[in-house]
Amino acid sequence: MFEELSNGDSFIRHLDPRVKIAVVFLFSIVVATARQFQVLTAALVLGVFIVLMTQIPFMELGRRMIPVNLLIVFLWLFLPFTFKGEPLFFMGPLAVTREGVLYAAGISVKSNAMMLMLIALVASTPIFTLGHALRALGIPPKIVHLFFFTYRYIHVMHREYVRLKNSMKMRGFIPGNSLHTYKTLAYMVGMLLIRSLDRAQRVYNAMLCRGFNGNLYSLSKFSLNRKDIVSLALMIAVILALGVLEWKKTI
């Protein structure tokens, strides 16, 4: 959850959220399809630069980068040994291939570059403003509603999960590798789904009582100013430069 990161007072924070979403989308496409390390390194440097402009505390940034890099560490444990190619060295009967190392390194740089850009741009926008910006960009309303309700009630369902887990502990449940444990956890998941469905129905009825007609309205209106247009043009130019560099290196 990035909501607490949107309270800063940086230049990036005050950009139009539609501009930030468009930049992240285009940047992610170029980085995801790039293969040249010069391009990926430049994208990573750009992501670091944008993050520095947002003035996000280093500790908060590190907390959000850890899950991504834990997955990357997991990939490093397997890809260099399972990717066919030229062996660099051997670890017992296993060969670490050059192609496997390069592939894992490429995934590492791509993931961190895209995550940094996502944190810098999207996380600097309040969640509900972000949802209305998605709708303004033409995203179907049902997807936007799903985004809103997921953010609003994921905390509620987590509290339900904690209550169920605590009640199981109070009744002496000790998890282990047994059929009883699996059945108990399955009952807990089933009960969580039932409570989720029941809460969803109550929320829907409450919204109907308040006149909900399928639309979520916003009091703020989006408008592009000169700063937004210049920032968008500059970022598109940089992203296009990365794409051109990748294309020239490929051919």
pLDDT digits (tens, 9 = 90+) for 34-84: 888 888 899 999 988 888 888 777 787 888 888 888 888 888 888 888 878
Residue 133 domain-assigned (yes or no): no
Structure tokens at 236: 């598109």
Contact status, residue 168 vs residue 184, Cβ threshold 8 Å: yes
- 55 and 153 part of one domain: no
Domain that holds residue 168: 139-209
pLDDT at site 11: 73
Over the stretch 203-218, which tens digit does the pLDDT of each residue have? 889 988 988 887 777 7
Same domain, 55 and 170: no
- Indicate if the pLDDT at residue 250 is higher than 70: no
CA 167 – CA 201 distance, rounded (Å) = 25
- Rg of the chain in Å (alpha carbons): 23
Question: Which pLDDT band, with edges at 50, 70 and 90, does 95 fall under?
Answer: confident
Taking the C-alpha atoms of residue 103 and residue 83, their distance in angstroms, rounded to an integer, is 8
78 and 114 part of one domain: yes
* Dihedral angle of Cα 232, 238, 244, 248, to the nearest 10 degrees: 180
Co-location of 96 and 46 in the same domain: yes
What is the spatial distance between Cα 207 and Cα 17, in angstroms, rounded to a whole number? 27
Residue 116 resides in a domain: yes
Give per-residue pLDDT as tens, 152-190.
Answer: 888 888 888 999 889 988 988 888 888 888 998 999 999
- Asked if the structure places residue 8 within a domain, the reply is yes
Mean pLDDT of 109-133: 84
Tell whether 90 is covered by a domain: yes
In a domain, 74, yes or no: yes
Q: Assess whether 106 and 183 both reside in one domain.
A: no
Taking the CA of residue 57 as centre, how many other CA atoms within 13 Å lie in the half-sphere pointing to its CB?
9
Determine the Cα angle at 164 with ends 201 and 194, to 5°: 25
Instruction: Evaluate the CA torsion angle 16, 17, 18, 22 in order and state its sign.
Output: positive
Q: Is residue 100 part of a domain?
A: yes
Q: Please tell me whether residues 203 and 228 are part of one structural domain.
A: no
Give the pair of three-digit tokens for residue 136.
């303004």
* Reported pTM: 0.76
Q: How many domains does the chain have?
A: 2
Question: Are 170 and 66 found together in one domain?
Answer: no
- Among positive and negative, which fits the CA dihedral 73, 75, 78, 84? negative
Burial of 9 (0-12, 13-18, 19+ CB in 10 A): exposed
User: Do both 45 and 158 map to the same domain?
Assistant: no
Place 14 in a pLDDT band, splitting at 50, 70 and 90. confident
- The stretch 9-38 carries a mean pLDDT of 85
Report yes or no on 68 lying in a domain: yes
- Flag whether 94 is in a domain: yes
Residue 95: phi, psi to the nearest 5? -105, 130
> Are 144 and 244 contained in the same domain?
no
The interaxial angle of helices 141-170 and 127-136, nearest 10 deg, is 150
User: Does 114 share its domain with 230?
Assistant: yes
Q: What pLDDT does residue 5 have?
A: 57
Same domain, 149 and 91: no
Whether residues 107 and 19 share a domain: the answer is yes
